[in-house]
A and B are shown apart, each in its own frame.
Chain A
Amino acid sequence: MLTALATTALIAAACGGTAQPSPTAALTAAGGTAAPTTAPTAAPVLSRPVEFVISTAPGGGSDIYARIWIAAMEKEKALSTSVLPVNKEGGAGAVAFTYVFEKKGDPHYIMVTLNSFFTTVITQKLPYKATDFTPLANMALDPFFLWVNADSTWKNAGDFVKAAQDNALTVSGTGSKQEDEVLFRRIQDLAKTKPFNYVPQSGGGAVATALAGKQGGVVVTVNNPSEGLGLYQASPPKIKPLCAFTADPIKEGAYKDLATCKSQGLDITDYFIVRAIVGPPGLTAAQTTFWADTFKKVADSADWKKFMTDNALQPNYLAGDALKKLFDDYNKLHQDIAQKNGWL
């Protein structure tokens, strides 16, 4: 036992020695000495480290976004305290949402959203609403693309719709009764297709992979641009996007000039993944503004802008009433879809 402790101590010491030069110095620079950035008159909003709650596992879904923002916050010295990513996965987000909901009025807890923030709260009949949380800032809208296997004969959304009207197609997406299925049910409703045979997967990567390998007969997905990029850039490509569910064609990046699905007869331009940050219910106006301003700096950072271009995200910084309205709209949209499909 003593030997064990001694060994561990030895290893730790050896390791501290080797790892020291860069990381430690860098950490102190970032966490310890950054200047406070709020208005000098008000008392500081934060008095201890912040928990950035993530409703997916490390590496999954919204996790990457939270971590990129934390890195950008440190780089831009946007905060005087440190921010810790905390993964509370499980129950399609219910575990994380409940955790943050119970921190009423505490500005040291913030959470990254994805659309399960709306769907799970509705379908799991949780004892609160998505709109109970304090919206802090929206960073971007993550569009959906319509993807097919690279050797598909469909040239555009019109071909896909025609096929879907004739046969019940096998489609795939992340989870059940979440954003991907929401979009497919909307397509089904709008284009009067046969009901899709929907295969739920554990994550966006698995969805794109299923399409690339035509696993279990999957012919269409609505992956986000970042999830399909690797498979699209493979040589030869494994999957390809037919169109984007956006109002305008994609202007730059790897998907430059990708047409809108609307131009191909599939008129959905109002459905995105909301990449936003919320706090617990009941934050004060000063606390809300503090976080909105902090994330404005992140939204304007070069790293985040590059990431948005690379992954075809639609920049859409929103705070205050405009963000509130976005949340209200999405809440209603998901409520309606859940009602229509008998998910309640």
Chain B
Amino acid sequence: MDVLGSLAGGFATALQANNVLFLLAGCILGLIIGVLPGLGGTSGVAILLPISVYIARDNSATTAIIFLAGIYWGALFGGVVTSILFNIPGEPWAVALLFDGYPLAKRKGKPGVALASSFMASWVGALFATILLTFLAKELADVALRFGPAELFAVFVLSFATLIGLGAESPMKAVMMVAFGLLLAAIGFDTITGEPRLAFGQISLLSGIGFVPVTIGLFGIGEIIASADEAGIGYVEKIAARVGLKDILETFAALRKRIWLVIANGVIGFFFGSLPGHGATAGSFLGYGLARQWARNKEDFGKGEISGIMAPQAAADASAVGSLVPMLALGVPGSPTSAVMMAGLFIWGLQPGPLLFIDHPDFVWGLMASIYLGHLLTFLICLTAVPLLAMIMRAPHGILTPFIVIISVIGAYSLNNDMKDVAITIVFGIIGYWLRKMKYPLAPLVVALVLGDSTERELRKALIGSQGEWSVFFVSPISAILIALAVVLLALPLIGQLRRRGTAQA
């Protein structure tokens, strides 16, 4: 009852006119920032942090945090739009949406359903995550503390196991793509030894090969070259002539069938987000991988399966909500975006951490209530925008294609205001086209590039802590179970193949 009372107080705060206004402003700004590829929640919050100083001064720190959080939620929704419509990820965590979102929008001609699916999943996933945040923030923070390098490594291994076969016709090709991705991930500054790796003396390579420019190239540019090559097979005509209410109703029906999947991903994503330092990106990949693994129609994934949109998006948005847990309960940042929000707290003169609950209950509960409201607002705005957004897909190739190329290049540049990323995008556009031609799967490459760095870091940290004893991964029951699960998942297709080969020979 105590919590409910506080939450009611929080709603009273969040529903004050100026707070609603700034929440709405934050959500809309976040949506716009999220739609622009390359600019994500982190840069959005960082860009608007100076303005929050004045909001905090003229209104209150509560209004300021509601505003900043609104940007975060808006960016989560907005980031999916270019992934689904143009095959260009607007945000790191929207990369998992490329696998099924774009195929559903383009090849199956249902951009409205694809967009609405991701928005609904975002909202439902976040709703459950917010309920968890409201009632279990402190308890979950304690559990998250126990998640050390060995446990995290096990989680990453599990992600690899669930995703590795995605889109692959030949297992050998998938393995080669994973190796290529890991090699790219190794470029840059090795944080464990403090030495540059594969940087060839180039300062610009010290910051590594970012996976967003790579993905923009592989998927966005690569797809354009490939479809030009196929002489415009003309997906366009297949796009439903009318988009509107029908799409949304269809998506509602799809959501009802998958409601447990979305809720489960909300819970998993939330927990993943509450682990300090691991944000929405890994959560969305894990969500996608698990959904695929446990689906009966595994072969539909990568070709426009709605579960492949809903699962990663529910997990991504829930991770973002979860990343507030360490900030509120422990005073440490949960994700890059919440790290910037924490910087905001310092600037407004607040100390992030558990004392906020005691010294500034208005702030904490106002923020909590605003998460419920912010997601609802963003969801409604997005849903009304679906028909308009979907219509973009009906634009003629001649207009759409140059537009996508421009967006790709601007997106790559705006990541770090660095021409290096533009070069990476173009090079990987060509590589992407070639890989497509050679029928190499792109998904395993992206997964390895995204998760490679963190996986390696946790592995080495665990081994340093155990002084080189590999048993560290089996002493902890959590990591032992997860690794065992991963091994089974990896071995199953192999065993199946061997058996088939056996029967064929016999």
A32 at the interface (CB under 8 A from B): no
A98 at the interface (CB under 8 A from B): yes
Closest to B138 in A: A234
Once bound together, how far apart are the Cα atoms of A56 and B336, in whole Å? 11
B403 at the interface (CB under 8 A from A): yes
Q: Are A230 and B191 in contact (CB under 8 A)?
A: no
CB distance from B9 to the nearest CB of A (A): 21
B427 at the interface (CB under 8 A from A): no
Q: Which among B276, B352, B403 has the greatest number of chain A C-beta atoms within 10 A?
A: B276
Given A58-B43, A94-B203, the answer on whether A217 and B465 have CB atoms closer than 8 Å is yes
B188-207 near A? 1/0 per residue, CB < 8 Å: 11111110100100011011
Q: Are B340 and A58 in contact (CB under 8 A)?
A: yes
Q: Are A18 and B25 in contact (CB under 8 A)?
A: yes
B50 at the interface (CB under 8 A from A): yes
A213 at the interface (CB under 8 A from B): yes
A40 at the interface (CB under 8 A from B): no
Once bound together, how far apart are the Cα atoms of A100 and B339, in whole Å? 24
CB distance from A28 to the nearest CB of B (A): 11
Q: Are B333 and A205 in contact (CB under 8 A)?
A: yes
Once bound together, how far apart are the Cα atoms of A48 and B277, in whole Å? 36
Q: Are A90 and B207 in contact (CB under 8 A)?
A: yes
Once bound together, how far apart are the Cα atoms of A212 and B354, in whole Å? 14
A68 at the interface (CB under 8 A from B): yes
* CB interface residues, A 12-35, toward B, < 8 Å: 12, 14-15, 18-19, 22-23, 26-27, 30
A71 at the interface (CB under 8 A from B): yes
* CB interface residues, A 307-326, toward B, < 8 Å: 307, 310
B203 CB contact (under 8 Å) in A3, A26, A95, A178: A95
B29 at the interface (CB under 8 A from A): yes
Q: Are A200 and B194 in contact (CB under 8 A)?
A: yes
B385 at the interface (CB under 8 A from A): yes
B331 CB contact (under 8 Å) in A23, A58, A98, A230: A230
Once bound together, how far apart are the Cα atoms of A180 and B336, in whole Å? 22
A233 CB contact (under 8 Å) in B57, B353, B403: B353
Q: Are B326 and A205 in contact (CB under 8 A)?
A: yes
A70 at the interface (CB under 8 A from B): yes
Q: Are A89 and B207 in contact (CB under 8 A)?
A: yes
B385-403 near A? 1/0 per residue, CB < 8 Å: 1001101100100011001
Given A176-B194, A202-B457, the answer on whether A30 and B146 have CB atoms closer than 8 Å is no
A87 at the interface (CB under 8 A from B): yes
* CB interface residues, B 319-350, toward A, < 8 Å: 326, 329-333, 336-343, 346-347, 349
Residues in chain A near residue B57, CB distance under 8 A:
26
Stretch at the interface among A59-67, A154-162, A259-267: A59-67
Q: Are B351 and A310 in contact (CB under 8 A)?
A: yes
Q: Are B331 and A229 in contact (CB under 8 A)?
A: yes
Closest to B417 in A: A86
Q: Are B349 and A202 in contact (CB under 8 A)?
A: no
B419 at the interface (CB under 8 A from A): no
B447 at the interface (CB under 8 A from A): no
Q: Are A205 and B276 in contact (CB under 8 A)?
A: yes
Stretch at the interface among B147-155, B244-252, B363-371: B147-155
Once bound together, how far apart are the Cα atoms of A230 and B390, in whole Å? 46
Q: Are B194 and A177 in contact (CB under 8 A)?
A: yes
B21 CB contact (under 8 Å) in A18, A175, A203, A208: A18
Residues in chain B near residue A175, CB distance under 8 A:
191, 194
B49 at the interface (CB under 8 A from A): yes
Q: Are B191 and A91 in contact (CB under 8 A)?
A: no
Q: Are B196 and A15 in contact (CB under 8 A)?
A: no
Given A71-B50, A233-B354, the answer on whether A307 and B330 have CB atoms closer than 8 Å is no
A15 CB contact (under 8 Å) in B28, B144, B191, B349: B28
Given A212-B145, A238-B145, the answer on whether A1 and B54 have CB atoms closer than 8 Å is no
Closest to A23 in B: B51
A36 at the interface (CB under 8 A from B): no
Q: Are A213 and B193 in contact (CB under 8 A)?
A: no
A18 CB contact (under 8 Å) in B24, B59, B276, B388: B24
Once bound together, how far apart are the Cα atoms of A27 and B467, in whole Å? 54
B173 at the interface (CB under 8 A from A): no
CB distance from B290 to the nearest CB of A (A): 24
Once bound together, how far apart are the Cα atoms of A123 and B191, in whole Å? 13
B347 CB contact (under 8 Å) in A68, A92, A343: A68
B244-283 near A? 1/0 per residue, CB < 8 Å: 0000000000000000000000000000000011000000
A190 at the interface (CB under 8 A from B): no
Closest to B27 in A: A15
Q: Are B336 and A58 in contact (CB under 8 A)?
A: yes
Residues in chain A near residue B189, CB distance under 8 A:
90-92, 94
Q: Are A30 and B54 in contact (CB under 8 A)?
A: yes
Residues in chain A near residue B307, CB distance under 8 A:
none
* CB interface residues, B 158-210, toward A, < 8 Å: 188-194, 196, 199, 203-204, 206-208
Q: Are B145 and A26 in contact (CB under 8 A)?
A: no
A43 at the interface (CB under 8 A from B): no
Once bound together, how far apart are the Cα atoms of A86 and B94, in whole Å? 25
A26 CB contact (under 8 Å) in B29, B58, B464: B58
B31 at the interface (CB under 8 A from A): yes
Q: Are B54 and A91 in contact (CB under 8 A)?
A: no
CB distance from A141 to the nearest CB of B (A): 18
B14 at the interface (CB under 8 A from A): no
Closest to A91 in B: B206
B450 at the interface (CB under 8 A from A): no
* CB interface residues, A 202-256, toward B, < 8 Å: 202-203, 205-206, 208-210, 212-218, 226-227, 229-231, 233-235, 238
B49 CB contact (under 8 Å) in A67, A177, A238, A343: A67
Residues in chain B near residue A91, CB distance under 8 A:
188-189, 196, 199, 203, 206-207
Residues in chain B near residue A4, CB distance under 8 A:
388-389, 392
22 A-B contacts, Cβ less than 8 Å apart? A1-B403, A4-B389, A4-B392, A11-B31, A15-B25, A18-B28, A26-B54, A59-B343, A63-B339, A91-B188, A94-B206, A168-B467, A176-B194, A197-B464, A199-B465, A202-B277, A215-B147, A216-B472, A217-B465, A229-B353, A231-B330, A238-B145
A22-B58, A58-B42, A216-B465 provided; 4 other pairs, C-beta below 8 A? A63-B340, A64-B342, A213-B148, A230-B351
Q: Name A's B-contacting residues (CB within 8 A).
A: 1, 3-4, 7-8, 11-12, 14-15, 18-19, 22-23, 26-27, 30, 57-60, 63-64, 67-68, 70-71, 74-75, 85-92, 94-95, 98, 123-124, 168, 170, 175-178, 197-203, 205-206, 208-210, 212-218, 226-227, 229-231, 233-235, 238, 303, 306-307, 310, 343
5 smallest CB-CB distances across A and B, nearest first, come from A230-B331, A59-B339, A90-B207, A230-B353, A216-B465
